[in-house]
Structure 1
Amino acid sequence: MLDNTYLTFDIGGTKIASGVVSLPPAAGAPPQVSDRCEIPTEAQSGGDEIRRRLVAFAEERLRACAAQHRHIDGIGIAAAGVVDAERGVIAAATDILPGWKGQRIAEAFAAVTDLPVAMVGDVGAHGLGEAIYGAGRGHKTVLSLGLGTGIGGAYIVDGRLVTGAHGVAGHAGHVVSGLGKGFLCSCGTTSGHIEPVASGSGLATLYNHERPADVEPAADGREVCERAALGEAYAGRVLERSARALGECVAGMANLLDPHAIVLSGSVVQAGPVWWRALRDGFMDGALELVRQTPLIEGELGGAAPLIGAAHAVRTARRGE
């Protein structure tokens, strides 16, 4: 039996997704996600306007739920940026969302609803969803990695998200790799982070940086993967180098944290067998002997993961857990 239903939001640089999530009383049962919809973020309009559009979207969604006589127990938010979950404030953000830093999201929602509101980082929410209800369920500790336009991560212990002293725990894309040396990372450094050469956009960056004169530039990571699948040797080599370097970084994270399982999600994990083989090779090369047995699992929940994780976060907050 499903015991709690939450209105959830996933705020990204391109879109704000929403869904109604009903969570089961036990983690082993599947949640239900319904009434999914989205609006464009319109990031260029600035943080104040994004906040206003988010709240207006929420009000519209709450009215629709009321019209359907659907009871909502709380609001869960998965937000881009570094989140101060206790205060409901965006503590830090990149230029992907100009003016997003400092936005007081919980305060804005309190002005329009009496429902409990909980906010966590979007990658953290994704990790919670996968760890508790998705590919990581049944594992005591889970390292979740989101590999898309950027690279993020989350560490979940006994169903709880580890956020760290400053809320930045899980920034897996900012682990150092020799392959990334000299490439500009989204955080502003060129010291060698893995994100600018192993994310979706990073695959294209690496491909275009070293491409032979007779090879056309790739528009994005998807095109690199398509060219590799069609047999282009250069694209295949780029995928292998990128995935192996990422695997070595994942091994370093696993050596430090020793999780029971590692879940990988996002567009990059669809890169194909060449990518997965090189990732596993890099992981095996870098992992300590006992850590090598840690399973590398592809995520199951897709875009529903952060919505489910946000619902879990607000249910946990309601219960004071």
Structure 2
Amino acid sequence: MKYCFGVDVGGTTVKLGLFTVEGELLDKWEIKTYTENEGERILPDVTKAIKEKIAEKKLAADEICGIGVGVPAPVDKNGAIERAANVGWKAKEIKKELEELTGYPCVIGNDANVAALGEMWKGAGEGEKDLIMVTLGTGVGGGIIIDGHPVVGAHGAGGEIGHITVRNDETETCGCGRKGCLEQYASATGLVRLTKRYFEKNAKNSILNKKEITAKEVFDAAKAGDEAALEITEEFGAYLGQALVNLAATVDPAVFVIGGGVSKAGDILLDIVRKYFYDHAFYGNQKTKILLATLGNDAGIYGAAKQVL
């Protein structure tokens, strides 16, 4: 039997999984991410965790075909990054360092691309080779898979869906330094921004007037039929739908997979986005499916492992 490891490096924890090459998840666990001193402990800690698991499971060295890693940064073709602020890394040759530490072949990818690969392999996109994953969390992440391979691009910035411009009249600045990015409206923080702006202009009676506003509260209010919340989520859906329409015309995926914390809103989110998409999409994209991600927080380790294979 042959095995591989999938590693998803995040700002708080590193998630790890041991897989068979057929894609069966045999074990998963987490270790803390120590970001101090430019994240110097992260790769040695990952190495220790993997070697301990190999010993625990009594695996032979020649049974391990490699280690796949997803990291929160653009990754170049040599498995190196310029920086990954969330984990403290500056310029780092991750592939080279981890191969020296572990003695196994390593494949490094951007975490959003890797999560998309996971959903294609064993998640909502299983059976498809052309897929776009949109992750709606604190920000908006994305991964584009064409013919089974992630689109990395010339500078490692392929699939940065959150930074598609959807408004030209925006005055506030996105975290990336630009204005009018999708992330400013279709993330959890973006939905809160839309809600606050809505109530600055509208004095409507709403469930939301009495609550501390979160993305969950807005969708819960919309599910309860709250008129203001329905208008706000429609606006949210129009921005996201507009981005998907443009992506579909460019890439023509078989499926969009929507994940991240905001996707927990479920069917109401899908209904809003599908309505906008199918009303506005080019006729050649009308068969594109829009589905919710199914792997949750495990998408990263699945995709990381799939990179190796």
| CA-CA distance at 1:250 after TM superposition | 0.4
In percent, how many aligned pairs have the same letter? Answer: 31
- Change in 2 beyond 3 A, CA 1:177/1:166: same
* 2:82 matches 1:91: yes
* Alignment check: 8 A CA contact 1:179 1:245 kept: no
Q: Among residues 208, 213, 219, which one is paired with 1:225 in the alignment?
A: 219
- Could you say which residue in structure 2 is the equivalent of 1:18? 16
Q: Among residues 196, 199, 208, which one is paired with 2:187 in the alignment?
A: 199
- Could you say which residue in structure 2 is the equivalent of 1:160? 149
* Alignment check: 8 A CA contact 2:6 2:303 kept: no
- Could you say which residue in structure 2 is the equivalent of 1:252? 246
- Change in 2 beyond 3 A, CA 1:100/1:219: farther
- 3-state DSSP of counterpart to 1:243: helix
2:280 alignment partner AA: G
Residue correspondence of structure 1 range 209-288 to structure 2 within 5 A: 209-211=197-199, 215-216=209-210, 218=212, 220-288=214-282
1:297 alignment partner AA: L
- 3-state DSSP of counterpart to 1:140: coil
| CA-CA distance at 1:163 after TM superposition | 1.0
- Could you say which residue in structure 2 is the equivalent of 1:318? none
Unpaired stretches in structure 1, ≥5 consecutive residues: 25-30, 316-321
Q: Among residues 7, 32, 40, which one is paired with 2:32 in the alignment?
A: 40
- Change in 2 beyond 3 A, CA 1:164/1:57: closer
- Could you say which residue in structure 1 is the equivalent of 2:130? 141
- Could you say which residue in structure 1 is the equivalent of 2:6? 8
* 2:297 matches 1:308: no
| CA-CA distance at 1:193 after TM superposition | 0.7
- Change in 2 beyond 3 A, CA 1:180/1:235: farther
Task: Give the alignment's Cα RMSD to 1 decimal.
Answer: 2.3
Provide, for residues 204-252 of structure 1, a one-character-per-residue CA deviation record: whole Å limited to 9, x for no partner.
Answer: 2222333357825645322332333344432332222102210111011
* Alignment check: 8 A CA contact 2:83 2:92 kept: no
- Change in 2 beyond 3 A, CA 1:101/1:282: farther
- Change in 2 beyond 3 A, CA 1:182/1:15: farther
2:31 alignment partner AA: I
**TM-score, length of structure 2 as denominator length:** 0.87
More divergent stretch after superposition (163-172 vs 52-61):
52-61
Displaced runs of 4 or more, over 4 A: none
- Could you say which residue in structure 2 is the equivalent of 1:290? 284
2:281 alignment partner AA: A
* Alignment check: 8 A CA contact 1:79 1:121 kept: yes
In 2, the alpha carbon distance for the partners of 1:4 and 1:146 equals: 31
In 2, the alpha carbon distance for the partners of 1:279 and 1:170 equals: 19
Provide, for residues 138-168 of structure 1, a one-character-per-residue CA deviation record: whole Å limited to 9, x for no partner.
Answer: 2232222222222122221221112111111
2:107 alignment partner AA: A
- Change in 2 beyond 3 A, CA 1:230/1:96: farther
Unpaired stretches in structure 2, ≥5 consecutive residues: none
- Could you say which residue in structure 1 is the equivalent of 2:159? 170
- Change in 2 beyond 3 A, CA 1:176/1:218: farther
In 2, the alpha carbon distance for the partners of 1:135 and 1:251 equals: 20
| CA-CA distance at 1:42 after TM superposition | 4.8
